[in-house]
């Protein structure tokens, strides 16, 4: 969906929306429209949409009223995004191709106006590539939004948010694609194509390179699949001098559980087990497109976990890149095996000051938090607080969990340095404890378990059912507030 800014004298679209604060219905509306709005109980609450048809000189036009909530309410920007999202949801398949949003008289700032546009664009994203039998009424018709009488500076501010939107949409695309389309090799090639010309340096390690390095943990997960493993590194160097920040993503493009196979019901959802890798790729795209003044490396470990005759077995011992040995108790606890080697490699190769990893790592985090928050584990209180603040500001919310030696001992192995799972209870914590063993001294590190947030079974305010793009807004906000400040 494209966003354009109208110039004075441009013809108005047939469909125009006006923004209404709660309890503040515009006085210049025709009396029948005001009466109809009141009769339908439209009051301007956040997300409400009312529509009327208005007779013009030659034809009917469509007028929409979108509620933006209280003029000075809490979470103001989120409410404005929700208003834009509500408009996009209502008119996405309406038959209209253009929606005008008239900001005249709304008293919104440039930042607030852009929030409305961002919400509309994000909610308007759909992935209908494989739907060949949609009726006209089911097809997306809305292709552009025209900002009318936008506040001064809104067009400049939108350029930054448009880059963020592209990053989120790229993440959603990667997460949505089926596993026969997106697998380690094709994930890399899609990123190569998308990052061409952006200024991002792309480094790819193939199976031979991974074997030469000694990434035994990552390769152990991949050995049951005909799809070869890859490690992909994306570097945006928008600032020189300081040690870089690394974002690391789990990229299990499909997870059967391996020999410890998952139940059949719902296994199709495991195409999104690469949600962390998708978020890292989308974040780097957003940073590059908006020319962020930061030195950021995104590294993703890409594998497919399959129950082939060559797959690793429960009880196998693998040697990680760090030299530490791991007893594989459960082959469905594969994400941490992928991440541990990637974490070691990024530290040795780029010497980052800070590492944030994102992974759809445990079902236990969904038991704890449902789908509203992602879990955060950190060895540094300042980093944890910075990410928490970024989560609150962006809407990608986090909830902190503990790390402690009391949990660490639960993954000690009798025959290796560690085992890849602990007992039933505290599963998300023991997974984080496992990863912490691969973090070097003096490095600020946070692990985000995003298993409950990358996919939605029903539409939200700014996303349709399916991939949410979780993580991109969080990391982008962290970069803005911490690295670019």
Residue 463: closest CA among 120, 140, 138? 120
Domains 2-152 and 162-483 share a fold: no
Residue 246: closest CA among 343, 329, 137? 343
DSSP state, residue 375: E
**Residues 456/443, Cβ–Cβ less than 8 Å:** no
For the record, the structure tokens of 16 come out as 């125009």
Q: Which pLDDT value is given to residue 9?
A: 84
Phi then psi dihedrals of residue 304, to 5 deg: -125, 130
Chain segment 277-303, per-residue pLDDT in tens:
999 999 999 999 999 999 999 999 999
Distance, CA of 276 to CA of 446 (rounded, Å): 13
| 56 has pLDDT over 80 | no
Lowest mean pLDDT among 69-83, 95-109, 220-234, 366-380: 69-83
| 153 has pLDDT over 80 | yes
In this prediction, residues 392-403 reach a mean pLDDT of 98
Give residue for tokens 């799972």. 421
Distance, CA of 443 to CA of 422 (rounded, Å): 25
Task: Give the pLDDT band (50/70/90) at residue 467.
Answer: very high
| 103 has pLDDT over 90 | yes
Chain segment 44-54, per-residue pLDDT in tens:
999 999 999 98
The answer to whether domain 162-483 has CATH 3.40.50.300 is: no
Chain segment 323-337, per-residue pLDDT in tens:
999 999 999 999 999
**Residues 426/396, Cβ–Cβ less than 8 Å:** no
**Mean predicted lDDT score pLDDT of the chain:** 97
Task: Give the pLDDT band (50/70/90) at residue 421.
Answer: very high
Residue 337: closest CA among 262, 257, 406, 455? 257
pTM: 0.97
The H-assigned helical ranges of 177-214 are 184-195, 207-213
Distance, CA of 166 to CA of 289 (rounded, Å): 9
In this prediction, residues 11-30 reach a mean pLDDT of 94
**Residues 284/230, Cβ–Cβ less than 8 Å:** no
Chain segment 180-192, per-residue pLDDT in tens:
999 999 999 999 9
CB atoms within 10 A of CB 256: 25
Distance, CA of 31 to CA of 20 (rounded, Å): 16
3-state DSSP call for residue 426?
A: coil
User: Cα–Cα distances in Å, from 394 out to 170, 336, 429, 460, 478?
Assistant: 18, 27, 25, 15, 9
What torsion, rounded to 10 degrees, do the Cα atoms 386, 389, 395, 398 define? 70
The H-assigned helical ranges of 124-183 are 154-176
Q: Domain 2-152, what fold? A: 3.40.220
3-state DSSP call for residue 336?
A: helix
* Residues recognised as catalytic: 262, 336
Domain spans in the chain, listed from the N-terminal domain onward: 2-152, 162-483
């Amino acid at each position: 969906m494209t966003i354009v800014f109208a110039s004075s004298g441009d013809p108005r679209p047939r469909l125009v929306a006006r923004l209404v604060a709660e309890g503040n219905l515009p006085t210049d509306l025709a009396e029948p429209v005001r009466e109809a709005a009141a009769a339908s109980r439209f009051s301007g609450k956040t997300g409400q949409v009312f529509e009327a048809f208005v007779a013009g000189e030659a034809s009917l036009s469509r007028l929409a009223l979108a509620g933006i909530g209280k003029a000075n309410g809490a979470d103001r920007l989120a409410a404005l995004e929700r208003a834009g999202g509500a408009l996009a949801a209502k008119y996405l398949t309406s038959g209209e191709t253009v929606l005008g949003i008239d900001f005249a008289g709304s008293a919104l700032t440039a930042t607030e106006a852009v929030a409305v546009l961002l919400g509309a664009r994000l909610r308007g994203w759909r992935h209908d590539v494989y739907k060949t039998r949609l009726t006209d009424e089911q097809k997306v018709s809305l292709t552009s939004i025209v900002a009318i009488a936008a506040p001064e500076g809104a067009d400049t501010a939108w350029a930054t948010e448009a880059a963020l939107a592209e990053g989120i949409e790229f993440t959603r695309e990667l997460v949505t694609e089926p596993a026969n389309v997106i697998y380690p090799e094709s994930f890399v090639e899609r990123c190569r194509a998308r990052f061409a010309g952006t200024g991002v340096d792309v480094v790819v390690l193939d199976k031979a390179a991974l074997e030469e390095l000694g990434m035994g943990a990552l390769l152990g997960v991949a050995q049951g699949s005909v799809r070869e493993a890859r490690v992909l590194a994306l570097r945006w160097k928008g600032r020189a001098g300081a040690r870089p920040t690394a974002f690391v993503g789990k990229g299990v493009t499909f997870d059967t559980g391996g020999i410890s196979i998952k139940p059949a019901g719902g296994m199709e959802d495991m195409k999104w087990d690469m949600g962390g890798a998708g978020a890292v790729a989308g974040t780097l795209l957003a940073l590059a497109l908006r020319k962020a003044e930061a030195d950021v490396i995104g590294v993703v470990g890409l594998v497919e976990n399959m129950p082939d005759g060559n797959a690793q077995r429960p009880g196998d011992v693998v040697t990680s890149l760090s030299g530490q040995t791991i007893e594989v108790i459960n082959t469905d606890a594969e994400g941490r095996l992928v991440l541990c080697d990637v974490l070691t490699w990024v530290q040795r190769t780029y010497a980052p000051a800070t590492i944030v990893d994102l992974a759809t790592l445990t079902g236990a985090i969904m038991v704890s938090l449902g789908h509203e928050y992602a879990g955060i584990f950190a060895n540094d209180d300042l980093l944890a607080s910075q990410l928490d603040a970024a989560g609150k500001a962006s809407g990608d919310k986090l909830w902190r969990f503990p790390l402690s030696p009391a949990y660490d001992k639960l993954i000690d192995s009798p025959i290796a340095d560690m085992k890849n799972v602990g007992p039933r209870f505290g599963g998300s914590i023991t997974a984080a404890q496992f990863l912490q063993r691969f973090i070097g001294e003096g490095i600020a590190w946070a692990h985000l378990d995003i298993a409950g947030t990358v996919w939605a079974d029903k539409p939200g305010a700014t996303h349709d059912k399916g991939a949410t793009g979780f993580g991109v807004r969080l990391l982008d906000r962290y970069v803005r507030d911490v690295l670019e400040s």
